[in-house]
């Protein structure tokens, strides 16, 4: 029995993507070479990265709108600093919405290069909600938000309206639902949660916001470096980019982001309905801010913990314990998660 993988990341991949990637590791594009030994400058890999970039723009509805697509290293953690290097003048200020661990880390990195103004925070209630109705100063270089908070299970439903570049970390919910992606000037997302395998980070950036800080930017930290070299300034993670290309094609073949949203809503509704129905469980996140990607909940009676976890293990439920800062349980139901796995968890919850 294949386990039901609720891991928060690296996370579940579609079966078809795993099979295609595995085949390519043995023999890529009928070259009689493994994918992991093919040059990143070969015409075969060039076709892969160009297809991946095209799929990103197509799924986001950003074709011919002045956006560049990059596949970089360093994870979203590097983007915390890279964003500030490219958008924050030396004497400038940027606005940050503090909604959890990852936004806190992005604030720390921005403060190395300038002033990160915390527009609002939900720390007062353990990050179980998304702040609303906060003021946005007029003197900011950009505004940064984290769209989905993996650890705490909250998700932004309405993004702030701003007159400066809007930057968003979408690592754990990119392409999970329809959005007007053109409202964002810079999007970044570690691939390993919702669009691929670990080892590459997607960056979608509107080119006309770059080169305006007056700052000397280290070569590797400069988005324009990577745009000029089409993500090939240095050797990228060939395998990870290939997996992302397969994953993005899988989303397109399903019917695109609109169809993906319908499937994700069904999964989330099924699980949240059981949490709300079952007196043995209580959700962590405020209901109006519940994530459709990371469902966080706890037992109301800790004496049932052993029984619940034993039943889950027997059912093949894998990696659903909550983050150590929250406790309880976290079911990450990313794009690739089949509804049958969510049903398996619900059945276990009913049996507690």
pLDDT of residue 1: 63
Is the same domain home to 267 and 248? Answer: no
User: Does residue 111 share a domain with residue 260?
Assistant: no
- Are both 278 and 327 inside the same structural domain? yes
Does any domain span residue 2? no
Domain co-membership, 25 together with 123: yes
> Which residues face 4 on adjacent strands?
317
Could you tell me if 296 and 204 lie in one domain? no
Query: Hey, what are 131's tokens?
Result: 């702040």
Q: Which of 98, 173, 185, 193 is catalytic?
A: 193
pLDDT score recorded for residue 339: 97
| DSSP codes, 295-345 | EEEEES-GGGHHHHHHHHHHTTEES-BPPTTT-SEEEE--TT--HHHHHHH
**Confidence at residue 218, expressed as pLDDT on a 0 to 100 scale:** 97
* The pair of three-digit structure tokens given for residue 267, joined into one six-digit string: 């999964």
Report which of 188, 238, 308 is spatially closest to residue 48, judged by C-alpha positions.
238
Which distant-in-sequence residues (6+ apart) come within 8 Å of 38 by Cβ?
A: 28, 31, 44, 45, 238
List of the chain residues with pLDDT < 50: none
Q: What is the pLDDT of residue 261?
A: 98
Domain count, the chain: 2
Give me the residues paired with residue 96 across strands: 118, 144
| pLDDT value for 2 | 82
Q: How many CA atoms lie within 13 A of 265 on its CB side?
A: 8
- The one catalytic residue in 98, 169, 185, 289 is 169
- Answer yes or no: do 276 and 127 share one domain: no
Q: Give the DSSP letter string of 103-171.
A: HHHHHHHHHHHSEEEEEEE-GGGTT-S---S----TT-S-EEEESEETTTTEE-SSPPP-SS-EEEE-T
Q: Are 104 and 151 in contact (CB under 8 A)?
A: no
C-alpha 106/C-alpha 135 separation (Å) is 20
Residues 302 and 158 in one domain: no
User: What is the pLDDT at residue 187?
Assistant: 98
Give the residue numbers spanning the domain of 341. Answer: 256-351
- The domain that holds 55 is classified in CATH as 3.40.640.10
pLDDT at res. 122? 98
CB neighbours of 99 closer than 8 A, spacing ≥ 6?
121, 122, 127, 130, 131, 145, 146, 149, 152, 154, 156
pTM attached to this predicted model: 0.97
CA gap 335, 12 in Å, rounded: 9
Q: Which of 98, 102, 206, 267 is catalytic?
A: 102
The packing angle between helices 43-60 and 256-277, to 10°, is 60
Give residue 324's pLDDT: 87
Q: Token pair of 164, please?
A: 């400066």
Q: Mark whether 137 and 174 lie in a shared domain.
A: yes
| Pair (37, 175) in one structural domain | yes
Give a yes or no: residue 190 inside a domain. yes
Q: Are residues 205 and 176 part of one domain?
A: yes
User: Is 4 within a domain?
Assistant: no
Q: Is 193 a catalytic residue?
A: yes
DSSP secondary structure string for all residues of 237-255: -HHHHHHHHHHHHHHHHHT
Domain contains 9: no
CA atoms within 13 A on the CB side of 252: 16
Does the annotation count 180 as an active-site position?
A: no
Co-location of 109 and 183 in the same domain: yes
Residue 64 Cα distances to 58, 208, 252, angstroms: 10, 13, 19
Are 127 and 200 in a shared domain? yes
């Amino acid at each position: 029995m294949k386990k039901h993988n609720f891991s928060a990341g690296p996370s579940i991949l579609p079966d078809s993507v795993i099979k295609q990637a595995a085949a390519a590791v043995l023999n890529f594009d009928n070259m009689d070479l493994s994918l992991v030994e093919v040059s990143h400058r070969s015409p075969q890999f060039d076709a892969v990265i160009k297809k991946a970039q095209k799929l990103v723009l197509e799924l986001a509805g950003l074709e011919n709108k002045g956006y560049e697509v990059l596949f970089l290293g360093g994870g979203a953690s590097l983007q915390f600093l890279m964003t500030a290097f490219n958008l924050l003048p030396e004497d400038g200020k940027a606005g940050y919405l503090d909604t959890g661990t990852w936004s806190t880390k992005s604030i720390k990195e921005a403060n190395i290069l300038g002033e990160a103004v915390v527009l609002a925070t939900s720390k007062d209630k353990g990050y179980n909600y998304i702040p609303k109705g906060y003021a946005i100063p007029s003197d900011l270089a950009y505004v940064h938000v984290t769209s989905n908070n993996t650890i705490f299970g909250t998700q932004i439903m309405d993004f702030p309206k701003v007159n400066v570049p809007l930057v968003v970390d979408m690592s754990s919910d990119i392409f999970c639902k329809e959005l007007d992606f053109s409202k964002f000037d810079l999007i970044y997302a570690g691939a390993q949660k919702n669009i691929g395998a670990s080892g590459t980070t997607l960056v979608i950036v509107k080119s006309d916001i770059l080169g305006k800080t007056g700052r000397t930017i280290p070569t590797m930290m400069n988005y324009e470096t990577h745009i000029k070299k089409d993500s090939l300034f240095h050797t990228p993670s060939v395998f990870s980019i290939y997996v992302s290309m397969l994953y993005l094609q899988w989303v397109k073949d399903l019917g695109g982001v609109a169809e993906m949203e319908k499937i994700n809503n069904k999964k989330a509704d099924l699980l949240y309905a059981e949490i709300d129905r079952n007196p043995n469980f209580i959700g962590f996140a405020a209901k109006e801010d519940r994530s459709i990607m990371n469902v966080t909940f706890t037992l109301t009676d800790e004496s049932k913990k052993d029984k619940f976890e034993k039943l889950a293990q027997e059912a093949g439920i894998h990696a659903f314990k909550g983050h150590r800062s929250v406790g309880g349980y976290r079911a990450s139901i990313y794009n690739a998660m089949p509804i049958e796995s969510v049903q398996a968890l619900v059945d276990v919850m009913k049996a507690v």
